[in-house]
Amino acid sequence: MDFTDDQLHRYSRHIILPEVGGTGQARLLNARVLVVGAGGLGSPLLLYLAAAGVGTIGVVDDDVVDLSNLQRQIIHGESSLGQPKVDSAAARIAGLNPDVTVQVHHTRLTAANAAALIAGYDIVADGSDNFATRFLLNDACFFAGKTLVSAAMLRFDGQVSTFKAYLGKASLGAPHPCYRCIFREPPPRGLVPSCSEGGVLGALAGLVGTLQATEVLKEILGIGESLSGSLLMVDALNASYHRITVKPDPACPLCGTHPTIRDLSGHAA
């Protein structure tokens, strides 16, 4: 594609990278990424995807901006209090990069709308804050053949991984587990506190969300080593990172040899 003078200037630090170049930047501008959650993880994720020039970004969130969000949700400000988070995020992105088209989805992701929402995007990024959404996205992306880049955090700990289990459907032992290969099912209600119950270091959201954005950009560009088959663990208190190898589970109810989950009917509508 032909770049304008402004685009050549804006993306010059990408274009001079041999791994990106003009071809890679064109891929970014033509890419479509759906971000689920415009909160702590979604904030840095959305900002860096937009700054990188990802051409179309969808944002799914049914919440509104609250004062308690501003400790970590840096895409919002006090002027956005009470506004839908998707609208606040879209306005911030518009001010950051006019090359980016933002598609807002002011709704909660459910089994009834998940397939339709993710259908129009190349990659899905999960920045949600609850297990129900994480498991729903994992299953929906598997059935749709979409790459899922997932992240989570609590207190001082975070994790990031990429899931492409749909690539392993045809061959047993392919190195692409799904989320259920690691976490079979959601924990009992109340066992794991939410961020509102257990707390979270605000800056950790920036750290984990930026790692997540990096993995999304790598997947679009087809560069580097994917986190598919690995779980990256972040310990902010100890300033440590641990990459754990994760293999597909043949007994996984979704992507295993004898799957029992064949659609999204087991999730709340």
Predicted confidence at residue 169, as pLDDT, reads 54
With cut-offs at 50, 70 and 90, classify the pLDDT of residue 128.
Answer: very high
- 49 or 198: which carries more pLDDT confidence? 49
Give CATH superfamily name and number for 16-186+195-245.
NAD(P)-binding Rossmann-like Domain (3.40.50.720)
Q: Can you say whether the dihedral through the CA atoms of 165, 226, 220, 34 is positive or negative?
A: positive
Its pTM stands at 0.95
CA nearest to 109, candidates 135, 84, 87: 135
Report, as an integer, the average pLDDT of 176-201. Answer: 81
Q: Report whether pLDDT(43) > 60.
A: yes
The dihedral over CA atoms of 96, 34, 186, 41, expressed in degrees to the nearest 10, equals: -10
- DSSP state string for 64-100: B--GGGGGT-TT--GGGTTSBHHHHHHHHHHHH-TT-
CA nearest to 129, candidates 53, 49, 52, 68: 68
Predicted confidence at residue 195, as pLDDT, reads 67
If you average pLDDT over every residue of the chain, what do you get?
94
Report, as an integer, the average pLDDT of 198-209. Answer: 93
